[in-house]
Structure 1
């Protein structure tokens, strides 16, 4: 059963009494909405959004509770309970608050018996002050999300380009089949006419053989072009999917849109080389993806630089008896406090220097890839622009040639009617005219495919 949206798009801009038409815009809408590659690209973006949420988890407040007790030989050595709430902050500072309840007969003299509470702060003064793993992970996750959005655009850009190449190949095969069919009908009518003329004694019997030979040629050609059209229709169906992720074959009765004025139609596209290159450098998804990747590596470089710094962490706890931490103003180191300083530094910094060097090399490597990709895009866009200009000129020349071939056919038919020509010459003229019409159709289809490929190469097809 056909998908309702698919049917609606087939019939867009046509009345129900007409043959259903598949327009390029409607076709791309179907591809964007239902094609598996388009859906996979969307999943990639959703995964990157989940990774942002995962990285934010590094800044979630943590509620913990530690309990321990020791009883031996009927004696209560100790019983300890310590609930705590710790709050990491963006700048590497960690706040904490908790309660300690300690009892028993065998205690460490440095511990306080009974219930105490505290408010604490821990600050890195060297390593991890300006960048740490939590901040780096979140920044990189956000950049990877932007990179995933660009990769989604790149996938759709390439998918649309391939889909439109199949679309215009299908258009070409449909139109060529119509051209051959028209010639086949003319050949059938001529065979009937010649047979009657032979029966009336107006033509020699050899003309029947000449007309029949031409009919057989067009009949075989029609069969070959019919196969090409059917195969093109099947190739186009590769890009047609339904909402339930099942493939949809293009119905045989659907026809492509008619383009009466090709040069007016392509006027809607930007074909200017300078303009396209400017847009490509600013917004091409592949270039943008490289730029976000480099920004992510720069975050990694900042993180690796921290490995070259000594670790100097300072912690301070304001202590109070009972369950309520005291917030009254008093000198920090006068009474009821606990502080700590931790210093750590590798003597050779071998790992830190290596990690930092690797981070810089990764940035250099991706910068070279970006420059190379930019050059490839420039060459590709320039080549397609040249091809478009050449095809436009070829089409104009071929249109004139087709008119000349058609005029020769009419002239030969007039001479034949006056007895000054032969069926052989008419057949030859008709074959040349048909080949010229087929060539013109191929050039037009190639022009449209090239224009879409040009837009894709500049990254503006999506």
Structure 2
């Protein structure tokens, strides 16, 4: 009888409460490795990079508005044997940043019935088109280019935001997998210990050292643990599937996490968090100054400010002035020194128009101002939400750290109670029922401790996520 109790005590001490050494022979997967894999290979991370490339392509499109344009007009009319006209007019137009367009070209008019306003023969011109009212300070080309530059920077910030959210989802799956794995291993060990115990109790019963009811007690405990083992195994497998959805190969193929891969043995070492920013005041400052979600709002406001300036142009009259200096032959500069600006060899035109009520312009300008106001309110609300969420996760982080310390002591106390109950059983002062009850309490405390530790690490990552630091 004494020998059996000592053997059981050794089994429990080395099996139930010791760390599982079998995982040393398996491959491990740490949270840092998961983050790196997700950053490199996850489709959402790749899509975020494509989003930046698209914004850069849009910037190239906007720059196209300032590309020089080469064009030509060729026309000819011949009717009833009469050469009315034959016209060849190539021209190049060079847009500039300040709304002025510089243009130059040549004309060649021949024929018997030319328009009297046309200069017969070869001529050339160089001149400019200048907006004097609307489009002088801002026009669509400048507005689109400015906004394209802003949107390119915003796309890079949005990429950080997408990656930040993606990595947090991956960490939730990872720590769920870590928790499930350790709970499953605890229950596997408990089943193994109780299977050995069942064998010892049955042998003791056969030798007349134990009552028959003790075999029923041992079997009931074993079956209860076997049932829980199946439950935890199912949870572990499902957690592995959830984590697998974030793991992809470099070739773009999904990767199914095998059961032979486990968390590192030191998964609960809090030194792993030493590089994280976990000071509340520093976190609040980071949120205010550099959180990607708030920076996106900054870029939106800058783009809306450009739009507002463009809409203001609708309140101005359209007054365009076009001037050409004319020269004989194909050298547009040949007569520049011979005549003054409006002295000779020139052509100009002036166009003026303005809507009498400016209804459309006033409406568009007012709407642009309202969009800015709406975006600022959304930014203020977002900033408040992030600050509150930071405080909530930080409070949870601090409490979990204290709970882990308390639960560790609680777990150690339950171990001592079990050891004491085993000693009493050894002295004939207790029963297998009481030992089983103590063992159940130890298991509950150990499971609770594992869940608290996994939640603690997940909360630490949640703090980083809320501050926008997971990228």
Deviation at 1:28, TM superposition (A): 1.1
Q: CA deviation at 1:309?
A: 0.8
C-alpha displacement of 1:68: 0.7
The answer for the alignment partner of 2:420 in structure 1 is: 411
1:34-57 CA-to-partner distances (Å, cap 9, x unmatched) read 111111111111111100000001
Counterpart of 1:308? 315
Q: Give the Cα separation in 2 of the matches to 1:33 and 1:269.
A: 21
1:380-434 CA-to-partner distances (Å, cap 9, x unmatched) read: 1110000001101111110000000011111111111111100000000001100
For 1:15-414, list aligned pairs within 5 A.
Answer: 18-259=25-266, 262-326=269-333, 328-329=336-337, 330-414=339-423
Native 8 Å contact 1:117 1:323 kept in 2? yes
Unaligned runs of 5+ in 1: 1-16
Match of 1:459 in 2: 468
User: CA separation in 1, counterparts of 2:40 and 2:135?
Assistant: 45
Give secondary structure in 2 for the equivalent of 1:255. Answer: coil
Question: TM-score with structure 2 length normalisation?
Answer: 0.93
Contact in 2 for aligned 1:280/1:460 (Cα 8 Å): no
CA contact (8 A) 1:93 1:121 kept: yes
Q: CA deviation at 1:262?
A: 3.2
Give the Cα separation in 2 of the matches to 1:338 and 1:87. 19
Distance in 2 of aligned mates of 1:400 and 1:272:
27
Q: How far has the Cα of 1:264 moved from its partner?
A: 2.5
Q: Is the 8 A contact 2:30 2:267 kept in 1?
A: no
Q: What's the TM-score once normalised by structure 1's chain length?
A: 0.95
* C-alpha separation in 2, matches of 1:220 and 1:337: 99
Answer yes or no: is the 8 Å Cα contact 1:284–1:459 preserved in 2.
yes
In 1: Cα distance, 2:136 partner to 2:87 partner: 33
For residues 260 and 30 of structure 1, the distance between their equivalents in structure 2, rounded to whole angstroms, comes to: 18
Cα offset, 1:245, TM superposition? 2.5
Distance in 2 between residues matched to 1:203 and 1:379, nearest whole Å: 61
Q: What secondary structure sits across from 1:126 in the alignment?
A: coil
For the 8 Å contact 2:38–2:45, the answer to whether it is kept is yes
Offset at residue 261 of structure 1 (A) = 5.5
Q: Are 1:259 and 1:265, in contact at CA under 8 Å, matched by a contact in 2?
A: no
Deviations 1:328-352 (A, max 9, x none): 4341111111111111111111111
**Which consecutive unaligned segments of at least 5 residues does structure 2 have?**
1-23
Q: Which residue of 1 aligns with 2:430?
A: 421
Judge conservation of contact 1:166–1:236 (CA < 8 Å) in 2: yes
**CA deviation map 1:85-110 (0-9, x unaligned):** 11000110110110000011111111
Tell which deviates more after alignment, 35-44 or 400-409: 35-44
For each residue in 1:155-199, what CA deviation from the matched residue of structure 2 results, as whole angstroms up to 9, or x when unmatched? 111110010000000000111111111211111111111122112
Q: SS of the counterpart of 1:214?
A: helix
Question: C-alpha separation between the residues in 1 aligned to 2:431 and 2:185?
Answer: 26
Distance 1:264 1:25, change over 3 A: closer
Return the alpha-carbon distance in structure 1 between the equivalents of residues 144 and 271 of structure 2. Answer: 51
* Alignment partners' CA distance in 2, 1:252 and 1:190: 28
8 Å contact from structure 2 (residues 55, 151) kept in 1: yes
- Alpha-carbon shift at residue 18 of structure 1 (Å): 4.2
Q: Residue by residue, what CA displacement relative to the aligned partner does 1:70-121 show, whole Å, maximum 9, x if unpaired?
A: 1111111111110001100011011011000001111111110001011111
Which shifted more, 33-42 or 424-433? 33-42
How far apart in 2 are the matches of 1:106 and 1:222?
102
Shift of 1:23: 1.6
How far is the alpha carbon of 1:266 from its aligned partner?
2.4
Quick one: distance in 1 between partners of 2:155 and 2:273? 32
Distance across 1 between alignment mates of 2:197 and 2:345: 114
Secondary structure of residue in 1 paired with 2:274: helix
Checking the alignment, whether the CA contact within 8 Å between 1:308 and 1:352 is kept in structure 2 is yes
In structure 1, the residue matched to 2:444 is 435
